[in-house]
Amino acid sequence: MGEFIKRALTALLFGIILIAGINLHPIGFIATFLGIALLANYEFYGLIKKAKASPQVGIGLLAVVLLFAAITSHIYCGKAVLSHLLLLLVFLSFIIELYRKKDNPFANIAYTLLGIIYVALPFALLIYLVFQNGVEQFRPDIVMGIFIMIWVNDTVAYLVGVNFGKHRLFERISPKKSWEGS
């Protein structure tokens, strides 16, 4: 099977899951992006482990769940009650690191928190984007528009790069990416 067909089928499957998750129900929207954020955070921590650091994976993933729960409670209840638990968990990560006896404790804490802020927070903030006026108005079309623009841009960049790409952009990081496709 050709590379393009494999990519297209994977994109189609992911696209169907994402479109359904975004559009079917507000709770489905939140659950879809919580799942994506958890998977992305887990992958991020895996990459960090390969770089010989030891992030607190369990604490980081629990913090992602609390982040989504705090934003959801703020939207549905008008109160950020769960945000206090999230702050407590962040504080506890410092204490937990004291007892882990791992090398580079400050880097471990930093990588744990970076996963929450860099990976999960943007996905969690999408909740505010679709509930701009509270729970009365669910607007998944805003997020769908963003994803459609990203998908079209990526598809055109891939097709241009495959057909016209001659000059490699940054081979050490992405060996097949070209300036023309970019």
pLDDT in tens, 29-74: 999 999 999 999 999 999 999 988 999 999 999 999 999 999 998 8
pLDDT at 1: 66
pLDDT at 3: 80
More confident residue, 153 or 169: 153
Query: Taking Cα atoms as reference points, which of 96, 140, 97, 93 lies closest to residue 116?
Result: 93
More confident residue, 142 or 160: 142
Give the span between the Cα atoms of 139 and 127, in whole angstroms.
Answer: 10
Tokens, residue 15: 């696209």
Indicate if the pLDDT at residue 168 is higher than 90: no
Whole-number average pLDDT of the chain: 88
Indicate if the pLDDT at residue 115 is higher than 90: yes
Reported as type and span, the H/E element at residue 168 is strand 168-170
Q: Where are the domains of the chain?
A: 25-137
pLDDT at 113: 94
Indicate if the pLDDT at residue 104 is higher than 80: yes
Percent of the chain with pLDDT over 90: 43
